[in-house]
Amino acid sequence: MPIYGVLNCMAPPKLQLPPPFEQIMRRHAREIMRYLLRASADREDAADLFQETWLRAYRAYPRLEPNSEVRPWLYAIAVNLCRNRARDGARRTAVIVADDEANPAADRLGKAHRAHNENDGYAAVRLRELMSALPAKQREALQLRYFAGLDFAEIAAALDCSQEGARANVSQAMRKLKSMW
Amino acid sequence: MINMKTEKFISLLGGEFSDGKVEALLRRSRPRVDGAIQRIRRPEAAIGVVNSPLGDLLVALSERGIVLIHYLLGDDDLEGTIAKLRLTVDPVEDRSSVNEIGAEIRRYLDGNADALRRNVDLSLAASPFQKKVLYKLLEVPHGAVVSYQALGAAAGAPKGARAVGNALHNNPVPIYVPCHRVVTSSGGIGGYGGGAARKLQLLRSEGFALGKADERLPDGVVWGHKGTKIYCRTNCRTTARVDRAQVLFFADPGEAKAAGLRPCKICRPT
């Protein structure tokens, strides 16, 4: 046992505290919100899930191993909550319907839907329908890859599978979407 | 459409929500989320390592008082202790407020009996019984010791000497909650979470004439009865029929007198 007071040549050990939760929230709130908006059905759902995600994250934060990646962990919570919501509400990942008539982008989307034009607006709607038909595992992997921009190692951590599994799920999902198009 | 470019696909997947929309929703949701977290918030605690004559201590300090004092015995000890602590409080490193505790402990070991002024916050106590034992222990004054058995009886478990031992082993705030003032009924020193040497060191500073490796209380000790307010020599014949739950041991007659007791008329302790 070193005696710092007497020898006065060593400082007491520096504490290694994980970053405060506020910092994590500041850093990741935006991308989690973006992800939930894309992955869940609508704005209200996304706002609900957003709150639930951060509440759970706060409760579980002390149990997160120090030095482990925060980002995949947060996405894991978000993904699980999305999954629960889909199960409980028996609501499929529905088509996003714009709620703002004055919004030109929404207007375009609506028109596109009616006209069945194959422009981007329509394509996006159709794509969502197809995605909701994918198996959950593949859909989640796909969403994490392209909505959240995680790499395969992070997807593997978030979905608790191997890196190869994550890669396979994403590519399967991609293949299916293209074949159903 | 089958040969639609992958990049196009990806841009479609990711599109749709402008940054503006995300920002707007974020602005609307944040206050709600902050409010919800506020309701389940763990109390904040300042933590830090202080060095003392008893070795390095990890100290955690909440608004209500000292949450934790932990003897740092090894290197890996620190991380595990902090991990456990984080389940109950949100730690923030704060050397200066923690150093005050170190200063109080230093003054105390130098013989200043009133040096330990800070309140304790026993929110880390594992069970209601353990909490009760620790609160009862706070009533044992400087210069006195109590037996595991007597402490158990005071906390409502006359047969719970072992359980008291466990409670003291889990004492989150040693030194301030004086678990070093608990000895065996037969006058042995008993164990200590930070090692018996530290227990002796603390007892010495409280007036007990103990050597470096003594295992028993010294001969000068008298025992006092909390009910009758009388103190006796340890070999007084009244010891046979006394209620052990009421007994405190004092370092010397002076300490007993200071606690408001009168000497026994049979054994006449001086």
- Give the CATH number for residue B68: 3.30.160.70
Residues of A in contact with B56 (CB under 8 A): 1, 4, 12-13
Query: What is the average pLDDT across B30-34?
Result: 90
The pLDDT score that the predictor gives to residue A85 is 84
Residues of B in contact with A130 (CB under 8 A): none
Q: Does ipTM surpass 0.90 in this model?
A: no
Q: Which of A2-16, A116-130, A146-160, B228-242 has the lowest mean pLDDT?
A: A2-16
Residue B1 pLDDT greater than 50, yes or no: no
Residues of A in contact with B10 (CB under 8 A): 146
CA distances from B207 to B113, B121, B142 (A): 10, 27, 9
Report the C-alpha gap between B167 and A44 in whole angstroms: 49
Kindly report the average pLDDT of chain A as a whole number: 78
| Domain total in chain B | 2
Number of alpha carbons in the 13 Å side-chain half-sphere of residue A175:
7
* pLDDT one-digit tens code per residue, A41-92: 678 888 899 999 999 999 999 999 888 889 999 999 999 998 888 877 655 4
Q: pLDDT exceeding 90 applies to what percent of chain A? A: 33
Number of alpha carbons in the 13 Å side-chain half-sphere of residue A44:
4
Residue B10 lies inside a defined structural domain of this protein: no
Catalytic site positions of B: 179
**Together in a domain, B185 and B232:** yes
**Together in a domain, B152 and B259:** yes
Q: Give the minimum alpha-carbon distance from A124 to chain B in angstroms, rounded to a whole number.
A: 6
* Helix ranges (DSSP H) in chain B: 6-14, 19-39, 77-86, 95-109, 128-137, 148-154, 161-169, 196-205, 253-258
Tokens of B128: 């209601």
Q: For chains A and B, what is the number of CB pairs under 8 angstroms?
A: 112
**Together in a domain, B153 and B206:** yes
Report the C-alpha gap between B133 and A36 in whole angstroms: 50
Q: Are strands B55-62 and B44-52 parallel, antiparallel or unpaired?
A: antiparallel
The pLDDT score that the predictor gives to residue A118 is 46
**Together in a domain, B142 and B245:** yes
Query: What is the average pLDDT across B134-144?
Result: 90
**Together in a domain, B247 and B134:** yes
Q: Give the minimum alpha-carbon distance from A34 to chain B in angstroms, rounded to a whole number.
A: 6
The pLDDT score that the predictor gives to residue A126 is 77
Query: What is the average pLDDT across B69-76?
Result: 82
Domain boundary among B62, B79, B109: B109
Report the C-alpha gap between A63 and A59 in whole angstroms: 8
Residue A117 pLDDT greater than 60, yes or no: no
Residue B113 pLDDT greater than 90, yes or no: no
**Together in a domain, B172 and B247:** yes
Say which residue, A117 or B132, is predicted with more confidence. B132
The residue extents of the domains of chain A are 93-133
Q: Give the minimum alpha-carbon distance from B30 to chain A in angstroms, rounded to a whole number.
A: 8
The pLDDT score that the predictor gives to residue B211 is 79
Cβ atoms of B26 and A26 within 8 Å: the answer is: no
Report the C-alpha gap between B135 and B204 in whole angstroms: 23
Q: Which of A91-100, B84-93, B137-146, B229-238 has the lowest mean pLDDT?
A: A91-100
A29 vs B6, B26, B49: nearest CB: B26
Q: Give the minimum alpha-carbon distance from A165 to chain B in angstroms, rounded to a whole number.
A: 20
- Domain that includes residue B67, residue range: 44-109
| CB spacing of B51 vs A38 below 8 angstroms | no
**Together in a domain, B105 and B205:** no
**Together in a domain, B181 and B225:** yes
Question: At CA B182, angle to CA B99 and CA B166, rounded to 5?
Answer: 85
B25 vs A37, A62, A147: nearest CB: A37
Indicate if the alpha-carbon torsion angle B189, B195, B200, B203 is positive or negative.
negative
Report the C-alpha gap between A137 and B180 in whole angstroms: 57
> H-helix or E-strand containing A169?
helix A163-180
Report the C-alpha gap between B183 and B147 in whole angstroms: 5
Residue B233 lies inside a defined structural domain of this protein: yes
| CB spacing of B16 vs A66 below 8 angstroms | no
| CB spacing of A15 vs B93 below 8 angstroms | yes
Kindly report the average pLDDT of chain B as a whole number: 86
The pLDDT score that the predictor gives to residue B7 is 64
**Together in a domain, B104 and B154:** no
**Together in a domain, B139 and B194:** yes
| CB spacing of A127 vs B17 below 8 angstroms | no
* Helix ranges (DSSP H) in A61-162: 70-89, 104-115, 120-132, 136-146, 152-159
The pLDDT score that the predictor gives to residue B168 is 94
| CB spacing of B13 vs A54 below 8 angstroms | no
The CATH number given to whatever domain includes residue B249 is 1.10.10.10
**Together in a domain, B83 and B186:** no
Report the C-alpha gap between B126 and A151 in whole angstroms: 42
Residue B115 lies inside a defined structural domain of this protein: no
Q: Which of A11-15, B167-171, B256-260 has the lowest mean pLDDT?
A: A11-15
| CB spacing of A124 vs B12 below 8 angstroms | yes
Res. B16 pLDDT band, cuts 50 70 90: low
**Together in a domain, B183 and B257:** yes
Those residues whose C-beta lies under 8 Å from the C-beta of residue B151, and which sit 6 or more positions away, are B133, B136, B137, B140, B164, B182
Residue A132 pLDDT greater than 90, yes or no: no
Those residues whose C-beta lies under 8 Å from the C-beta of residue A105, and which sit 6 or more positions away, are A98, A121, B18
A178 vs B4, B16, B79: nearest CB: B4
